[in-house]
Structure 1
Amino acid sequence: MTNILFAAGPDLWAEYEAPLRTALDATGLDYQLAYEADPESVDYVVYAPGSWLQDFTPYTRLKAVLNLWAGVEKITGNPTLTVPLARMVDEEGLTQGMVEYVTGHVLRHHLGMDAYIANPEQAWRPVVPPLAGERPVGILGLGTLGLACAEALSALGFPVTGWSRSPKTVAGITTLHGSDGLSEALENAEILVLLLPDTPATRDLLDTERLAQLPRGAVIVNPGRGPLIVDDALIAALDSGQIAHATLDVFRTEPLPAEHPFWAHPKVTVTPHIASETRVPSASRVIAENIRRGEAGEPLLHLVDRAAGY
């Protein structure tokens, strides 16, 4: 019997219990799935940030922790967690949702749609945008989500430059890495998409100096992590015209406080962390497959590199 503890809160338990059982039934495993369990009996923990479970020491039989979200910054530093940790990579739901969000907002800014959507004076302004091939797009972060977005935008004709911390080769995409590569990626990006994880190496990455490296009038789309951008530096860049607009889906504090200047800034679009929600049915299948693999002695998918933080 494989014992699985769902340690992700009562509301999520109500959403996930039936889909998880369906996905686990399909694996043929003999399992027990529960919201409460004797720690010494638990083989796998299904986890979400903010869970009541913070001390893993009593879980002496534990084989792996399976995170429900892509972000793992709230658990990677837990010193009591010594077993493998897998993050959520859900290409059916999470990845496709991110591709749709990023593609939609890149096209919105590329086509200048805001001028027509908000046009109370009924002004006739026939401004023709360049074609996609004349609009360089930069993507910081070439993990599963960044790569999928880069390929989608490239397929639409945008010249895409992707930057990652380590070297990568992707057909049809200009790939850069390292500090010199970051400067080059920024200098060429008329639209910049941020899809990096929140780690000590990426926190405050877009500060005053790096925002100044972007072409004047560039647009930023951030569905990655809030701490990637220095808020005050971004506001100053928006006020000066260095940045034309910022579409932000993630923030240092969520929900974004009512008094935060992003809410009222005319050049900021705030979306409430909706860029890529985990879809329960497909995420349940990802969790079930990893448990099946663990019980079969196969390598787990989407393991987190604790040293890198993702």
Structure 2
Amino acid sequence: MTARPLPGTDCAAGIRARVADRAGRIGTDGRRPVLAVVTATDDAAAAWYVRSIASAAETAGVDCRVVDLGAQASPGEIGACLQDLSADRDVRGIVLQTPLPAGAEPAVLAGAIVPDKDVDGANPLSLGYLAAGRRAFAPATAEAVVTLLDQHDVDVAGCHVVVVGRSTVVGKPLAQLLLDRDATVSLCHSGTRDLAAIASSADIVVAAVGHAHLITAEHVGPGATVVDVGTNPTDDGGLAGDVDPAVVGKAAALTPVPGGVGPVTTALLLQHTVFGPGG
């Protein structure tokens, strides 16, 4: 068995095309919709991600305003910047890029982003609305997983899905999105006992732990679908996923890294910016 690839590039291109059409119709006085990305880190993976957002925005007719506060920025400076952007009528979406400087708490600072502009679902209010079934932005990476599965006709209803990783960026909100689609979800993490036994029982395995090649063939049952959310920088400047390449010989389907969840995530940030929550 060789796993069927589940690329995200075509899906992302379709989203960007819809965004470009919408952006061209809502612009006023020739001005394009603005997505602001606030960064306060020198992390290489974060820099790569921000560049990918800016590149995707350019192709979709969205202005990406990168606000680099520097790795030494204080929580007060970051919070004030987010408040200013929230009050800026030209800005339709705001992303607070992580990691943040020592002493800065992402959940506290993300609370400074008004929910209507919280296009990456980082404000605790947005996460609460999502859990309660109210209209809100879902974290783009979590939404990208279900969007990519839809694109490739992988129906999660009735399936056992094991999500490895419990972050508020992917794991927790993804579990909610999957439950809303009638999946049965096991949310696993670093403290899970006998992870391989649990994961290998799943119809679908989602790896979102930020640890290169942590998920091996022993974690995957024959014929399972595997979604790799990992984007771990390699020494040669590339990216490695959370899933070991050997899984390709056991799984029925596998998302690539790069070119899988990543491009769909950036496209969804643009969609959220232009269409609003639920758009």
TM-score, length of structure 1 as denominator length = 0.43
Larger Rg: 1
Q: Specify which structure has the bigger relative contact order, considering alpha-carbon pairs within 8 angstroms and separated by 6 or more residues.
A: 2
